[in-house]
A and B are shown apart, each in its own frame.
Chain A
């Protein structure tokens, strides 16, 4: 039972480079989201999706792009990496509503130099 799978676990980028963080879930969850975790700031919502073909911005969307072509996959794209995007990124999924918790991937530690 894989749950939520994030790749890669670690990544170092140079300023200006682009990359895609992958996220896949096998629980048929409608809702998927991306967070970044920075010291002292908790988890902040970047983008989320309530189903295939539907995405929306969270609290800190600038510099990131998402798409949701299938229920299973929700990649996060960094368009032109900046040092301010150095962070730990988490993908999460859950059922759409109700008494259901979010299931998290293992996280990606990204460093932009």
Chain B
């Protein structure tokens, strides 16, 4: 079975600072994908970044980067130069190669302080 664990229910960061949101996963699949989504207070789910299990380089998308440590089964999201608009709920998700379902963690609520 697939399992995603996000152990930080809430995080605070000063504007313009970097922040790391933790995500660990458990799977028996050899091929899988890891995703991060942002959910602002308006409720929509916004895709941020993807990392494949066979990707050798960490994924980056603008101010977002994914610190992928396969042996430790972790896929932490790093947001650089935080902005007030980054205040939101962040979800880590995994998609296995068997069945192709997406499994989500419980989320981390990030608050950016001016």
A: which residues have CB within 8 A of B?
A: 31, 33, 35, 40-45, 48, 50, 56, 58, 88, 90, 92, 94, 96-99, 101-104, 106-107
A40: min CB distance to chain B, Å = 6
Q: Using CB atoms, name the residue of chain B closest to A106.
A: B44
Determine if A41 and B106 form an interchain contact, defined as CB atoms under 8 angstroms apart. yes
Residues in B neighbouring A33, C-beta threshold 8 A = 101-102
- B57 at the A interface (CB under 8 A): no
- B12 at the A interface (CB under 8 A): no
Interface size range on B against A: 20 to 34
B109: min CB distance to chain A, Å = 10
- B62 at the A interface (CB under 8 A): no
Residues in B neighbouring A96, C-beta threshold 8 A = 100
- Contact code string B57-101 (vs A, CB < 8 Å = 1, else 0): 000000000000000000000000000000000010101010111
Determine if A88 and B43 form an interchain contact, defined as CB atoms under 8 angstroms apart. yes
Q: List 30 A-B contacts (CB under 8 A).
A: A31-B100, A33-B101, A33-B102, A35-B104, A42-B4, A42-B91, A42-B105, A42-B106, A42-B107, A43-B91, A43-B93, A43-B104, A45-B102, A88-B43, A92-B45, A92-B102, A96-B100, A97-B97, A99-B33, A99-B52, A101-B35, A102-B35, A102-B47, A102-B93, A102-B95, A102-B102, A103-B47, A104-B45, A106-B44, A107-B45
